[in-house]
Amino acid sequence: MDWLYLFMEDYGYWALFLTMVAENMNIPIPSEVVLGFAGYLVHRGTFTYTLACVVGVAAGLVGSLLSYAIGYYGGRPFLQKHKHLFFLSQTKLSSADDWFARYGGIAVLTGRLLPGIRTFISLPAGMARYPLKPFIWYTVIGTIPWTMLLVWLGFQLGEHWENLLTYDMELFIGSVVVAALAYAYYHYLRKRRSQNSQNANRSHDDK
């Protein structure tokens, strides 16, 4: 990956943008490497944390939209015939397809956080002709925590940022974000039940 480090050092945010677009188009460039190294460049003062995250999220959206367009206009026959061009395996395509078929639009959000199908979920969304506006929203919401956390970890680790590569970061970050979403949803339900209970008590008192 020395070429990638030199590319990012020489071309800065443009290199970050292009490599993350490629990664989100299923080209095998690990995001842990790209975003972790971006965090290291923040540590060195070459990048700023905010702009690195903004560029990473924007690139994730652009790459996902391009994958969505391939699925939308090419369809399954095109992908089956040319899957080698997009570094697809039948297993990964089927996993993403099954996940989207089971959970619909919310799969775009949750799929961005799951190992193995994170960058592939845009293809079945396009094939299913899922509405573009919610696709964009779910993609951005799912991309933000992934990007922010990896850049932050690279920044915190500094010279030792490559330690990120020794862990299954997709599984780790996916678990953290899913747990956070579950926690937020639990508290939302508690608050809603409390409000419903208060409304019921008021109605009873009015009688």
Give the residue from 132, 57, 58, 128 showing the smallest Cα distance to 96: 128
Q: What is the pLDDT of residues 17-37, one digit of tens each?
A: 999 999 888 787 877 788 888
Which is higher by pLDDT, 55 or 145? 55
How many whole angstroms from its chain centre is CA 51? 17
Q: What is the pTM of this model?
A: 0.73
Give the least confident one: 28-37, 50-59, 108-117, 156-165. 108-117
**188: phi then psi, degrees, rounded to nearest 5:** -65, -45
Contact between 107 and 139 under an 8 Å Cβ cutoff? The reply is: no
Q: What is the 3-state secondary structure (H, E, C) of 74-130?
A: HHHHHHHHHHHHHCCCHHHHHHHHHHHHHHCCHHHHHHCCCCCCCCCCHHHHHHCCC
